[in-house]
């Protein structure tokens, strides 16, 4: 089969690789119909996630039709059209039973974190879904059949970015009348802006430095926009705009924010986990007693983290990998009943064979690229 494979720093290639096989009784083999490139995939592309072997198959936003089932699979069958949540979860460990699916204790033999499709040996070493076929373990738990009347484009993002944005806003305790700042106007940030209004926010301010993404946020989501390149201190500017700070700041940027020269050097030397520009803005933009919800991915430990700024102002921090399984049924229903439309962030639909080009334009923000779907 063909698959997008990691080749090194800023290098992926579509190559012929071995087809996946049933390895355990509760596996299924999925014939992929749609898969997407996630902002988190760029962390792999930029070399900030360790333990990435050459030729590793990437991708964790995937859906398709079940081609083959193991003899222990009961909840789905051959021919079912399903989405596959990005965390790999067993369904019966303490974490799964307490709705912390992304921290499953049994799916990852390589570390103390949960497993993710196509996201390095650190996160379980499972092949990813940017391919023609995907082996899906724990298939009685993960894959979820979707209504035939819904297109791939309408439901694909329930595998990751739609619930991640939803969970980020819920973690921010956003309620009616709140002021919310969303850092980042990539796919998750744009969806978080929609969810903030859905949950009753009175004012949503979107922060980015890419003009076409800010324009999309303003036109499609009706938010206020702020290009942080135009301000000496973005956090303090927001504090002034909001007369004391936002009730909630949602960080959808993570380690790939704008780096200082020192951070670039420290990250290269592996003594810094990446940029902390977004979290620094958040520490200044949130009001006293407010909440910062972090769904952007961060790496290793950080020097000069603004911990004291949070502590002294009674700020609540919430963060982590979204436990997607908890929200799948709810979000399928919301999409079906038109309560949320995630499709306006799609700017490119390309064949899988153009995966290398797709990564390039997504990473370099060319051709007004916001979200790419690949079709095997």
Whole-number pLDDT of residue 270: 56
Q: How far apart are CA 276 and CA 65, in angstroms?
A: 40
pLDDT digits (tens, 9 = 90+) for 236-275: 999 999 999 999 999 999 877 665 555 555 555 455 555 6
Q: Kindly give the pairing relationship between strand 203-208 and strand 224-227.
A: parallel
Q: Lowest-confidence range among 5-19, 134-148, 297-311?
A: 297-311
Which one is predicted more confidently, 92 or 272? 92
pLDDT tier at 112 (50, 70, 90 boundaries)? confident
Whole-number pLDDT of residue 291: 98
3-state secondary structure of 246: strand
Cβ proximity of 32 and 64 under 8 Å: yes
Whole-number pLDDT of residue 264: 54
Mean pLDDT computed over 15-30: 98
What is the model's pTM?
Answer: 0.94
Packing angle, helices 277-285 and 234-241, rounded to 10: 30
Which one is predicted more confidently, 374 or 307? 374
Q: How far apart are CA 33 and CA 375, in angstroms?
A: 6
How many Cβ atoms sit within 10 Å of the Cβ of residue 107? 27
Whole-number pLDDT of residue 266: 54
Domain 165-319: give its CATH architecture.
3-Layer(aba) Sandwich (3.40)
Q: Strand ranges (DSSP E) for the chain?
A: 2-8, 11-16, 28-36, 56-57, 61-69, 81-84, 87-88, 115-116, 133-136, 144-145, 179-183, 203-208, 224-227, 246-251, 286-294, 316-319, 348-351, 372-375
Whole-number pLDDT of residue 289: 98
Q: Do the domains 2-160+323-375 and 165-319 sit in the same CATH topology, yes or no? A: no
Q: 2-160+323-375: which CATH number, 3.40.50.300, 3.10.310.30, 3.30.70.1400, 3.90.180.10?
A: 3.90.180.10
Maximal CA-CA distance, the chain: 61
pLDDT tier at 88 (50, 70, 90 boundaries)? very high
Q: How far apart are CA 211 and CA 229, in angstroms?
A: 10
Mean pLDDT computed over 138-142: 97
pLDDT digits (tens, 9 = 90+) for 181-232: 999 999 999 999 999 999 999 999 999 999 999 999 999 999 999 999 999 8
Q: Is residue 300's pLDDT more than 90?
A: no
Indicate the DSSP class of residue 30: E
pLDDT digits (tens, 9 = 90+) for 152-188: 999 999 999 999 999 999 999 999 999 999 999 999 9
Give me the residue label for tokens 């995630």.
342
Number of H helices and E strands in the chain, helices first, is: 12, 18
Domain ranges of the chain: 2-160+323-375, 165-319
Whole-number pLDDT of residue 115: 97
Q: Strand ranges (DSSP E) for 80-178?
A: 81-84, 87-88, 115-116, 133-136, 144-145
Give DSSP secondary structure letters for 230-271: G-S-HHHHHHHHTTS-EEEEEE--GGGSPPPHHHHHHHHTTS
């Amino acid at each position: 089969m063909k698959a997008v494979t990691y080749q090194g720093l800023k290098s992926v290639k579509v190559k012929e690789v071995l087809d996946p096989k049933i390895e355990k009784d509760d596996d299924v083999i999925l014939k992929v119909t749609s898969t997407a490139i996630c902002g988190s995939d760029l962390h792999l592309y930029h070399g900030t996630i360790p333990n990435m072997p050459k030729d590793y198959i990437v991708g964790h936003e995937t859906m398709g039709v079940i081609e083959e089932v193991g003899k222990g699979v009961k909840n789905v069958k051959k021919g079912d059209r399903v989405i596959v949540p990005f965390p790999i979860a067993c369904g019966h460990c303490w974490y799964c039973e307490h709705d912390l699916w992304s921290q499953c204790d049994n799916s990852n033999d390589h570390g103390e974190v949960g497993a993710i499709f196509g996201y390095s040996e650190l996160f379980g070493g499972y092949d990813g879904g940017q391919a023609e076929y995907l082996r899906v373990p724990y298939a009685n738990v993960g894959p979820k059949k979707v209504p035939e009347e819904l297109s791939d484009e309408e439901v694909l993002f329930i595998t990751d970015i739609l619930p991640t944005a939803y969970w980020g806003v819920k973690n921010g305790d956003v309620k009616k009348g709140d002021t919310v700042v969303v850092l980042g106007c990539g796919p998750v940030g744009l969806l978080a802006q929609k969810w903030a209004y859905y949950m009753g926010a009175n004012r949503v301010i979107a922060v980015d430095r890419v003009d076409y993404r800010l324009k999309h946020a303003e036109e499609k989501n009706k938010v206020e926009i702020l290009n942080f390149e135009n301000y000496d201190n973005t956090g303090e500017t927001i504090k002034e705009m909001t007369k004391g700070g936002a009730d909630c700041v949602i960080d959808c940027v993570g380690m790939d924010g704008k780096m200082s020269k020192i951070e670039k050097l420290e990250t290269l030397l592996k003594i810094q986990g990446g940029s902390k520009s977004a979290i620094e803005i958040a520490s200044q933009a949130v009001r006293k007693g407010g909440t910062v919800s972090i769904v952007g991915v961060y790496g290793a430990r950080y020097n000069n983290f603004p911990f004291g700024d949070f502590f002294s102002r009674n700020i609540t921090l919430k963060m982590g990998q979204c436990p997607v399984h908890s929200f799948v049924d709810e979000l399928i229903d919301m999409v079906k009943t038109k309560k949320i439309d995630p499709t306006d962030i799609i700017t490119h639909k390309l064949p899988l064979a153009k995966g290398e080009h797709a990564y390039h334009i997504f990473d370099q923000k060319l051709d007004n690229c916001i979200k790419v779907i690949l079709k095997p």
